Structure 1
């Protein structure tokens, strides 16, 4: 597993285009990976997950993958700083049951409408938190209580992710950011969550869990 840190040049033409259309951003990132015969399976085959974080007026993009990327394929001027790539193996090796981590994840908490079968976003913070807790049960982690007795996680809204896949297919993802602490309950399940992501809209900047040892 590899984790790349991309310091984006916000003045570049390609980033401005990509920031306005998340499908273009997805395609720009996938240009760093070898093409496969089945285009629809490329992201899954390379295990690509990503997240765009705002930082001091700019943006840093974190990209995780099974395959080592070649960021030289990015358009000239897209990055403000050379890409930083490191192996995630030390992080994966540190995952054990009972271990506490701080984490960040942008996710797309949704439910399935029983009649239309369409995905409906959870918009209330309490519902978004309940969604995370349920996902923890599925993926081998729990959210501990903070000093006030509430779950030790902050739920923050992020701008709606939008774009177009083609002239007829509009992309709208209502995402939120989770920042807090978690405790691993199942090493295998949580490692799979780190590797494969959590929730929907993984091609569009959701599902990547970033962890660090809890102080």
Structure 2
């Protein structure tokens, strides 16, 4: 596996592509990063979008532009005049009991079956928690916000064992966003939220699998890339 930091050279973009980049259009960014892997028929990568100003120091001349962290099964090939890459092998050595700092941008969903429907439908966990809260007559802004945060945190705690780790303490939640765009007569919608905190490795092999393959839904659109480092 390879972990890469990818910067965009804006002179290689037309105006429409630049607008999509700056707006954080997840589908457009996914298509842009595909250009690093022109020989692949199936998507070989996960990615996470950040902003240069938050990730680079002054020596690297940060701009008001996104950059991407890309985890891939093969080394990406830079695109001259468009995509610049700094890549390194990624093969973390994990042991049970290791404590790691982590970041995750995820699309937390829950399946609900509605009356008269044969199949359940997936819902945004935070919006579902908001609805449940108001159904219970708790509709003050702080109660709704607390319920949404609790729903997002419980979603990750419920899955942490399957992904090979336990959560050590309360999570930091931020960056909740709803994404929506039209694609070939079909409307694509999903939500994302950023998690940050400390985990303890419970099952090294399961965690390696989660790191290499991503977790949750919407992995093609910038979600599911679990990033860890030692404190």
Q: TM-score, normalised by structure 2?
A: 0.76
Aligned to 2:20: 17
Is structure 2 residue 226 aligned with structure 1 residue 209? Answer: yes
Q: Displacement of 1:19 after TM fit? A: 4.8
Is structure 2 residue 1 aligned with structure 1 residue 7? Answer: no
Aligned to 2:213: 196
User: Residue 170 and residue 187 in structure 1: after superposition, are their counterparts in 2 closer, same or farther (change >3 A)?
Assistant: same
RMSD value, Cα: 2.0
> 1:10, 1:58 within 8 Å by CA — same for their partners in 2?
no
Aligned to 1:175: 192
**CA deviations over 1:111-148 (Å, ceiling 9, x no partner):** 11223522101111101000111121111101112xxx
Aligned to 1:148: none
Say which SS state the counterpart of residue 206 (structure 1) adopts: coil
Aligned to 1:118: 121
User: Residue 22 and residue 121 in structure 1: after superposition, are their counterparts in 2 closer, same or farther (change >3 A)?
Assistant: same
> 2:106, 2:192 within 8 Å by CA — same for their partners in 1?
yes
Give the 4+ runs in structure 1 shifted more than 6 A.
Answer: none
Give the Cα separation in 1 of the matches to 2:186 and 2:22. 17
Aligned to 1:87: 89
Give the Cα separation in 2 of the matches to 1:8 and 1:60. 7
**CA deviations over 1:17-71 (Å, ceiling 9, x no partner):** 34554222211111211445xx5xx11xx2x100101342432210111111112
> 2:3, 2:72 within 8 Å by CA — same for their partners in 1?
yes
Say which SS state the counterpart of residue 161 (structure 2) adopts: helix
Aligned to 2:163: 139
> 1:105, 1:210 within 8 Å by CA — same for their partners in 2?
yes
Give the Cα separation in 1 of the matches to 2:213 and 2:5. 18
Aligned to 1:128: 152
Say which SS state the counterpart of residue 180 (structure 2) adopts: strand
Q: TM-score, normalised by structure 1?
A: 0.81
- Runs (5+) with no aligned partner, structure 2: 54-63, 127-147
**CA deviations over 1:53-109 (Å, ceiling 9, x no partner):** 134243221011111111226xx3x45xx32111112xx22x111001101110000
Q: Displacement of 1:7 after TM fit? A: 2.4
Q: Displacement of 1:10 after TM fit? A: 6.2
Is structure 2 residue 64 aligned with structure 1 residue 65? Answer: no
> 2:21, 2:66 within 8 Å by CA — same for their partners in 1?
no
Say which SS state the counterpart of residue 150 (structure 2) adopts: helix
Give the Cα separation in 2 of the matches to 1:99 and 1:208. 19
Give the Cα separation in 1 of the matches to 2:34 and 2:51. 21
- Runs (5+) with no aligned partner, structure 1: 146-150
User: Residue 163 and residue 71 in structure 1: after superposition, are their counterparts in 2 closer, same or farther (change >3 A)?
Assistant: farther
Give the Cα separation in 1 of the matches to 2:223 and 2:30. 12
User: Residue 96 and residue 160 in structure 1: after superposition, are their counterparts in 2 closer, same or farther (change >3 A)?
Assistant: same
